[in-house]
Amino acid sequence: MRARVILARFFVGVLTCSPAGDSGSVLEVSYSEHSTVTRSAVSLVIPVFNGESLLAENLALLESFFTGTDLTAEVIVVDDGSTDRTPEILDRCSMAGLVVVRLPANRGKFAAIRAGMAVARGGCRIFTDADLPYDLDAIRYMAELILDQKFHIVVGDRTLAESELGADQPFLRRLSTRVFSFSVRMLVTGELFDTQVGFKAFRGDVASLLFPLVTDDGFAGDVELLYVALKYNLAIRRIPVRLLRTGPTTVSVAGHSLPMLRTIAGLRRRWARGGYDSPGLRQIADQRYWTPPIDE
């Protein structure tokens, strides 16, 4: 059965995935007829652009995975303005717990992730890549760390000794990853070595406050997100990943490097000017074990 539209025509500006003043742009959110209205334990957000070659197979893989777990889950697929058969495939999908978000035009990876997180209802909210490159068993482990051990954020890290990267990666992907990781450590912070891995999880309340602060629509959004999280001293847990599949990359070393580095270089300035101010995140991360002065 096809997904039916229950919640449609949200203003994109409200979901913080459009430029300022673009209040006329709309997106569409539709829920599978099999979706429940109760709060899920896990929301899995997957941004997709022209994913006809992999989408049907990977949605079936996800459905099989969640059926074999005790997790209540919703899978939120964000169609980032695809021009191939992606919308048709999503319309035909009868996967239980499927939520489809459609952006009216291609906006970029992190614009799509923000749109998905804006409608997520899970206590643990995860995003990963459409080609599902990493072992899905990490979802269960992430959910345990978030829901039971109360970490604010869990991130996959390919640099950890336990990570298994058996699949051969294309040279350009390896090059772009190394150059970008080095630039991040030089320009921003050395605390996190692998910012770009497409497997990150967030406690629901943290995600609701953190994602609207991210301004970058593209591949630098991961760095901006983690930079803000570190500045608020959120509890971040790095975990190893197992790379099982390698899909085509949309990252261009020549086309994306300079815009990404410009964004990263401006993070400290934006923080200093109060661009990432969030009373809610300050309250979540507050560890004071004494009574603060009343005038605070």
Q: Would you give per-residue pLDDT tens digits along the chain (296 residues)? A: 344 333 322 323 223 333 333 333 456 787 765 554 345 799 999 999 999 999 999 999 999 999 999 999 999 999 999 999 999 999 999 898 999 999 999 999 999 999 999 999 999 999 999 999 999 999 999 999 999 999 999 999 988 999 998 755 566 555 555 655 555 555 565 556 788 889 999 999 999 999 999 999 988 899 899 999 999 999 999 999 999 987 655 555 445 566 777 888 889 899 999 999 999 999 999 999 998 787 66
What pLDDT does 200 receive? 98
Q: How far, in Å, CA of 214 to CA of 211, rounded?
A: 5
What pLDDT does 89 receive? 96
Rg (CA), the chain: 19
Both tokens assigned to 60: 């079936």
What pLDDT does 52 receive? 96
Q: Which domains, from first to last, does the chain contain? A: 1-129 (3.90.550.10), 133-286 (no CATH)
Token pair 């301004």: residue: 215
**Please, are residues 273 and 231 in contact by the beta-carbon 8 Å criterion?**
no
CA 294 vs. chain centroid, Å, equals: 38
Strand pairing partners for 201? 126, 154
- Which run of H or E residues covers position 20? none
Q: How far, in Å, CA of 252 to CA of 52, rounded?
A: 21
**pTM score > 0.85 for this model?**
no
Cα atoms in the 13 Å half-sphere on the side-chain side of 199: 24
